[in-house]
Homo-oligomer: A and B are copies of this chain.
Amino acid sequence: MTTVSILGAGAWGIGLALTSERAQNDTTLWSYFEPEIQEIKSNGENSAVLPGIKIPKSIHLTSDLKKAAKSNILLFVTPAQAFRKVLRALKPHLNPESYLIICSKGIELETNRLLSEVMEEEAPDFSACVLAGPNFAREVALNLPAAATLASDYRDQSLWLCNSLSHDRFHLNPSTDVKGVELASAVKNVLAIASGLVTGAGLGENARAAVVTYGLNELTQLSLQKGGHINTVLGFSGIGDILLTCMSATSRNMKLGLDLGSGKAIEQLKKEGSPLTEGAMTVKALIQMAQPLGQRMPVCQAVYRVLYEGSTIEKELRNLFSHPLEVSI
């Protein structure tokens, strides 16, 4: 029996633990926070993040990283900014044959590095795998059907992992484009802000679809420049996740865009206690990443100027419309 550890007991960690269990794996859920483990042990759920979702007793619970380290497959669902720290703590206890799969989304802000690049630095003996797709955690936890991409540098590894973690309501699609999957996940948070900005400003659904299309094009260009593959853009972790995140009602990034687009100032939002979202932070990293490659990032730059330089989405949209799509003719 394959053993699987999920590192992080937030909403997505719980969703992944439940789906791993359904795929007949011996599953362990780890949290850094012992009280979180205690709550799940006593109430059978993590009511702060997924109220009403019961976690069966067959899933092992622990806050001991050494125990979690022993599994065949480890899924990292910690916050992106905690990834390096957890990996360092874990490393001495790892089995060299284990597979490490990054399910966290985002860029390490201090270094502008993708999490697979952080893993290359911290654990160069392991080859980073990545899992991403259009997956609201609650729906996966409820066993509603969902699909995602699982990428590894090695085709056979990817196929074996897909096979181990899939079941009839959770389809994993194999890929060998680790960086492409990670980039798409980072960019889509920025596009969700852009989508919210357009909607918040009352510019309509045509304009929103147009802006997301511009954004998809710059993601494609950046991804190709970084060695990614067009199929990733067309897959679950590319357009699939963008469909979900940019067109559905309520991601935190979308909400930030909606608030700013409808005229609230960012200072006001901070006063009201809304923290800056992942997308608001990664937008800088993406622009910096694209610069040495000579890659224009017009939607990222538009979002950046609205967030940090007092521009408006109306003005930025006129600017976008003055250029054709990068891939146009």
Contact = CB atoms under 8 A, between A and B. Distances in A.
Contacts of A241: 209
A174 B155 CA distance: 38
A239 interface: yes
B176 A329 contact: yes
Interface string A205-242: 11111101100110010000000001101111001110
Given A205-B136, A206-B139, A235 B144 contact: no
A265 interface: no
B140 A206 contact: yes
Nearest to A140: B206
Interface residues of A, number: 56
Given A144-B207, A210-B134, A243 B243 contact: yes
A139 B324 CA distance: 21
A324 B174 contact: yes
A241 B210 CA distance: 9
Interface in A118-152: 133-136, 139-140, 142, 144-147
Contacts of A171: 210, 320-321
A60 to B, nearest CB: 26
Contacts of A317: 145
A328 B230 CA distance: 10
Q: Please state the number of chain copies in the assembly.
A: 2
Given A174-B329, A321-B168, A325-B173, A206 B145 contact: yes
Interface string A39-67: 00000000000000000000000000000
A203 interface: yes
B220 A234 contact: yes
A328 B136 contact: no
B174 A139 contact: no
A209 B175 CA distance: 18
Nearest to A249: B205
Contacts of A220: 234
B213 A147 contact: yes
Interface string A264-277: 00000000000000
A244 interface: yes
A220 B234 CA distance: 9
A139 B213 contact: no
Contacts of A1: none
A235 B328 contact: yes
A234 B206 contact: no
A232 B213 CA distance: 11
Contacts of A133: 210
A98 to B, nearest CB: 23
Given A145-B206, A213-B236, A216-B234, 15 more contacts: A133-B210, A134-B210, A142-B204, A144-B204, A147-B210, A147-B213, A173-B325, A175-B328, A176-B329, A208-B243, A212-B240, A220-B234, A231-B327, A233-B234, A243-B247
